[in-house]
Amino acid sequence: MIVMRWMAPLCAVSALLPTGSAQGGAPVLAAQRPPAVEAQWESSDVRAALDRSLYAVSVKIGAEQGGPVHVTAELENFSGKTITAYAVTFIAGYADGVQREQSLTEDILGETVLSRVPGVTVPTSAGTLNPHEVRPVKMSLPLGAGALPPVSATARVTMIIFEDRTAVGDPHWIQTVFDGRRTSSQQDEALLTELRELLARPEIRRSGEPEQTSALREALAGRIAELRSAGVSAGWTEGQLTKLQLFQDALLRSRQHFDQMMSHWDILQRAASEQSKLEVTAQ
């Protein structure tokens, strides 16, 4: 099984709000790699480049009480450059000799960018991978025959994207991450444009407080209702509408929360746009 965790504005927003929490992390999408590209990319040079850049310094099997079995790897960045995305494959061994692979791709560009913004705290569970930093990566593991847990586990990094937009490893997942950033940037640009147009409405722009915030709340609620009613014909995805509702929730808290969220979302959108094109494949 392959799991993808994208750079998540949900995670970023929760870090901005006083009562927020980044627990739960990014939206998780299941994806299958095309069979035609299976492991053809992994030359000895590429493997060496991966191992000297990002390495699992420890891998442990564990389980919460009454919860699923999981594996946790601590990935340390030895590259000298900031890493903004990576893929790792966990190989679990069972008592009957069977081995199973679980793969994970994570884009942590959002956490990386927001960690540099004054006043924003990125939780350890959603940490960065600057040079020499260690990031814990956790994934559930299936039970083996007889519902027994695995007896061993190893972790192998298969793809890395650096902040300078160079990359090394599996080209399929490198391209998938960059494509995801491009889509996210385009959707968030449309979302921010929508919010700025609401703010520019004469009845809102010319009002003083608290009337301005009240008018903005009403306009935003009305616009969300319009877009939901129009459905796909409006050209908006469910994810974009969910993000608009997050802005609505922030505005219900205070105008300060809303303005702060707009500022930080703009930072995320520009970062995703700037980091959506591969510069060169690193070796």
pLDDT at 14 over 80: no
Average pLDDT over residues 216-232: 88
How does pLDDT run across 256-276, given as a tens digit for each residue?
999 999 999 999 999 999 999
CB-based contact 61:148 (threshold 8 Å)? no
CB-based contact 110:268 (threshold 8 Å)? yes
The string over 27-61, giving b where at least 16 C-beta atoms fall within 10 Å of a residue's C-beta and e elsewhere, is: eeeeeeeeeeeeeebeeeebbebbeebbbbeebeb
User: Pick from 142, 169, 163, 145: which is nearest to 153 by CA?
Assistant: 142
- Cα separation, 107 vs 43, in Å, equals 24
Mean per-residue pLDDT of the chain: 83
Neighbour count for residue 225 (Cβ, 10 Å): 10
Size of the chain in residues? 283
Sheet of strand 134-140: strand arrangement: 54-63, 69-77, 134-140
Average pLDDT over residues 60-79: 87
How does pLDDT run across 74-115, given as a tens digit for each residue?
999 999 999 999 999 999 999 999 999 999 999 999 999 998
The predicted structure's pLDDT at residue 30: 37
- Cα separation, 280 vs 10, in Å, equals 30
The predicted structure's pLDDT at residue 29: 36
User: Pick from 171, 190, 178: which is nearest to 239 by CA?
Assistant: 190
Here the tokens at position 59 are 């891998």
Question: What does each C-alpha distance from 149 to 65, 68, 93, 141, 230 come to in angstroms?
Answer: 14, 9, 9, 8, 49
Cis peptide before 210 (omega within 30 of 0): yes
Helix (H) or strand (E) run with residue 167 in it: strand 166-169
- Split at pLDDT 50, 70, 90, the class of 21 is very low
The predicted structure's pLDDT at residue 82: 96
User: Pick from 186, 193, 181, 180: which is nearest to 244 by CA?
Assistant: 193
Question: What does each C-alpha distance from 71 to 10, 157, 160 come to in angstroms?
Answer: 25, 14, 20
pLDDT at 35 over 60: no
Here the tokens at position 21 are 């929490």
Q: What's the pTM?
A: 0.82
- Cα separation, 96 vs 98, in Å, equals 6
The predicted structure's pLDDT at residue 274: 93
Residue 269 neighbours by CB under 8 Å, 6+ apart:
184, 185, 188, 189, 192
The predicted structure's pLDDT at residue 222: 93
The predicted structure's pLDDT at residue 154: 93
